[in-house]
Amino acid sequence: MDRRHLSADTLVVGGGAAGIAAALTLAHQGLSVLLVERSSGLGGRAAGYACMATTRCRRCSACLVEDSALALRRLDGVEILLSTTIAAASRMADGYSVDVECGSTRSTWKVRGAILCTGFDAFDAAAKPLLGHGKLDGVVTTLELDRILKEAGDEGWSTQDGPPRRVAFVQCVGSRESREGRGYCSQVCCSAALRLAGKLAHLHPEVEITIFYIDLQLMARNVRSYHDELAGRIRFVQGVPGEIAAAPGGGLEVHHEDSGEGTSSTFDRIVLSVGMVPSPATEEIASLLGSRPGPYGFLEGGGPPVLAAGACTFPKDIPGSMDEAREAAARLATALRPARTVAGVDHG
């Protein structure tokens, strides 16, 4: 990296699981990296996830991101700019000229290739007013529950009367809705709900947990066996309620089907399993660097000199995002290698 001329071999946009993995791979290949992250820290969404361990590790992968971020910070040849965004970019004969902006400070960097790792947005549960998020006390999203457990632990989840006794999870909120243009499965929310439910059951052996689902997406072997382990402890009900209302006697009431019969149940808390949607910021940055839109508004993976990886290309979990980012970084490194002279110096 040549700070006199502000140039780096590569640019990574986004410092979540994917961006960190991409930057690590590029640096290990001897390429200098400029990593631009718009928030004030590395880790992306995973930085808000609580450890899901119960009697043992439940392989949620949150700590994988933390460990990788630490490793990245120790590497030479990686410039990490936090609270920074890309303000402008233009194509040059041998790469891109990129304006990065941190508050009112702007600087121009020259890079030869880029990997976009700008992640996803969570579906906005308020867009489904019948589910009561933001209106009814006790309706939270999986991301909110994760953050509560991470930041305030068990106490953050309990009320002055103690921990909620009846908790329900509602799956597929914002996903698998063809008519809304979101016909895809978000891949990760069934395992996330299962781990959260397992964590609550571990913390509060007396809690009654119900999971309302369409069909459970539990591809990973460790998740499937966790489901089997929890099967006697958690009530799984096929069919998701379309409406949550305040129950006359207190709590939250839902009408649903159970074994083909219409019935209603009351809960103290309801957790909405929000899906993953493309982030509008991704579209903006992608158009600056000439990356192409893919299915449902996510990005195409592309090819050198500009690639995209992680959840910005389609919903996937942390290990999947990191694998895709490593692969993209390896492709970019291969493409840039012939023109490279000495690692970490200005090529301009």
What does the binding site for ligand FAD look like in residue numbers (CB under 6 A)?
13-19, 36-39, 44-46, 49, 60-61, 85-86, 117-120, 122, 142-143, 188-189, 192, 195, 274, 276, 281, 285, 310-312, 316-318, 321
Q: Least distance from C-beta 249 to ligand FAD, angstroms?
A: 31
CA gap 332, 112 in Å, rounded: 10
Q: Decide whether 187 or 279 has the Cβ nearer to ligand SF4.
A: 187
| Per rule CB under 6 A, count of chain residues that contact ligand SF4 | 23
Residue 52 makes contact with ligand SF4 by CB under 6 A = yes
Residue 112's binding partner out of ligand FAD, ligand SF4, none, with CB under 5 to 8 Å set by partner kind: none
The 10 Å CB-count burial string (b at 16+, else e) for 318-345 is bebbbbbbbbbbebbbeebeeebeeebe
**Are the C-beta atoms of residues 168 and 210 closer than 8 Å to each other?**
yes
Would you count residue 321 as binding ligand SF4 (CB under 6 A)? no
176 binds ligand SF4 (CB under 6 A): yes
- 87, 88, 100, 138 from 108: Cα distances, Å: 10, 9, 6, 47
277 binds, among ligand FAD, ligand SF4, none (CB under 5 to 8 A by kind): none
CA 93 to chain CA centroid, Å, is 35
Which of 9, 35, 115, 13 is CA-nearest to residue 337? 9
Buried b (16+ CB within 10 A) or exposed e, 240-275: bbeebeeeeeebbbbebeeeeeeeebebbbbbbbbb
Piece of 75-83, 91-99, 180-188, 279-287 that binds ligand SF4 (CB under 6 A)? 180-188
Question: Using omega within 30 degrees of 0 as the cis cutoff, is the peptide bond preceding 305 cis?
Answer: yes
Q: Which is nearer to ligand FAD, 253 or 325 (CB)?
A: 325
Identify the CA nearest to 198 among candidates 25, 30, 58.
58
Name which position in 59, 269, 316, 347 contacts ligand SF4 (CB under 6 A).
Answer: 59
| 267 DSSP β-pair partners | 252
- Residue nearer to ligand SF4 on the CB measure, 7 or 175: 175
- Which residue number, 32 or 186, has a Cβ lying nearer to ligand SF4? 186
Smallest distance, Å, CB 16 to ligand SF4?
Answer: 15
Interface residues with ligand SF4 (CB under 6 A)? 51-53, 57-63, 171-172, 175-176, 185-187, 189-190, 214, 217, 273, 275
